[in-house]
Amino acid sequence: MSVFQDLGYQLENADMGSGFITAASATRNHTGFLDALAGQTSSGNTRATAFVEALANGMARVRLNFLNTKNSSSRWGQQSRDDRPILDPQTYRSAWEKIDQAIFTRSATTAVAPSPAGVQPSGAAASPALPTPGAAPATH
Under the banding of pLDDT at 50, 70 and 90, the label for residue 114 is low
- Mean pLDDT across 98-106: 89
Does residue 87 sit within a domain?
Answer: yes
For residue 90, give the amino acid letter: Q
Give Cα 108 to chain centroid, integer Å: 19
Question: What is the tally of structural domains in the chain?
Answer: 1
Residue 135 resides in a domain = no
Q: Which residue range(s) make up the domain with 57? A: 2-106
Q: Is residue 52 part of a domain?
A: yes
Q: What is the pTM of this model?
A: 0.63
pLDDT in tens, 30-88: 667 776 666 777 778 889 999 999 999 988 899 999 999 888 887 777 888 888 999 99
